[in-house]
Amino acid sequence: MVKLILRNKEYEVKPGMTLLSALQKIDIVPESVIATREGEMILEDEILKDGDVIKLIAVISGGSCHTCTCVRCKCCEGRWSSSPQDVSRPSPKQSQRRKKIASSLRSSQ
């Protein structure tokens, strides 16, 4: 088996598939991670071999998550955003955070 590790979660897939296929199988957006094997970066077309341990490093970028529709983030409460409509309506938790930030900004002025 091939082991893929993202943060502290482990996944197992069958050997012989490409990295891209393995990421799709475990529902990880390929553009959201960098994959390494034995400390070396590997590409999406790499064939995974029996016994491989692939470490996945989450790609972090700046800016608002609400301009992106392909990543999982804390702001969106860990759900996948699949369309602009999904991210245009803030959840109650997001609204509460925004109000708290706005309030603190007003009080500091």
**Are residues 6 and 54 both part of a single domain?**
yes
Section 39-45 average pLDDT: 92
Q: For residues 83 and 75, what is the distance between their CA atoms, to the nearest angstrom?
A: 16
**Are residues 76 and 52 both part of a single domain?**
no
**Are residues 49 and 89 both part of a single domain?**
no
What pLDDT is recorded for position 63? 53
What pLDDT is recorded for position 67? 44
Q: Hey, what's the torsion of the CAs at 22, 25, 29, 33, to 10 degrees?
A: -30
**Are residues 70 and 48 both part of a single domain?**
no
Tens digit of each residue's pLDDT (9 = 90 or more) over 19-41: 999 999 999 998 889 999 998 99
Distance in angstroms between the alpha carbons of the first and the last residue of the chain: 58
**Are residues 35 and 77 both part of a single domain?**
no
What pLDDT is recorded for position 59? 85
**Are residues 102 and 85 both part of a single domain?**
yes
**Are residues 52 and 7 both part of a single domain?**
yes
Asked if 58 and 6 touch (Cβ cutoff 8 Å), the reply is yes
Which two structure tokens, joined as six digits, stand for 80? 């996948």
**Are residues 43 and 15 both part of a single domain?**
yes
What pLDDT is recorded for position 52? 97
- The structural domain count of the chain equals 2
Tens digit of each residue's pLDDT (9 = 90 or more) over 70-103: 444 545 444 444 444 444 455 666 666 666 666 6
Tens digit of each residue's pLDDT (9 = 90 or more) over 5-20: 999 899 999 999 999 9
**Are residues 46 and 19 both part of a single domain?**
yes
The pLDDT confidence band at residue 60, using thresholds 50, 70 and 90, is: confident
**Are residues 86 and 46 both part of a single domain?**
no
What's the CATH number where 22 sits? 3.10.20.30
88: containing domain: 65-108
**Are residues 72 and 93 both part of a single domain?**
yes
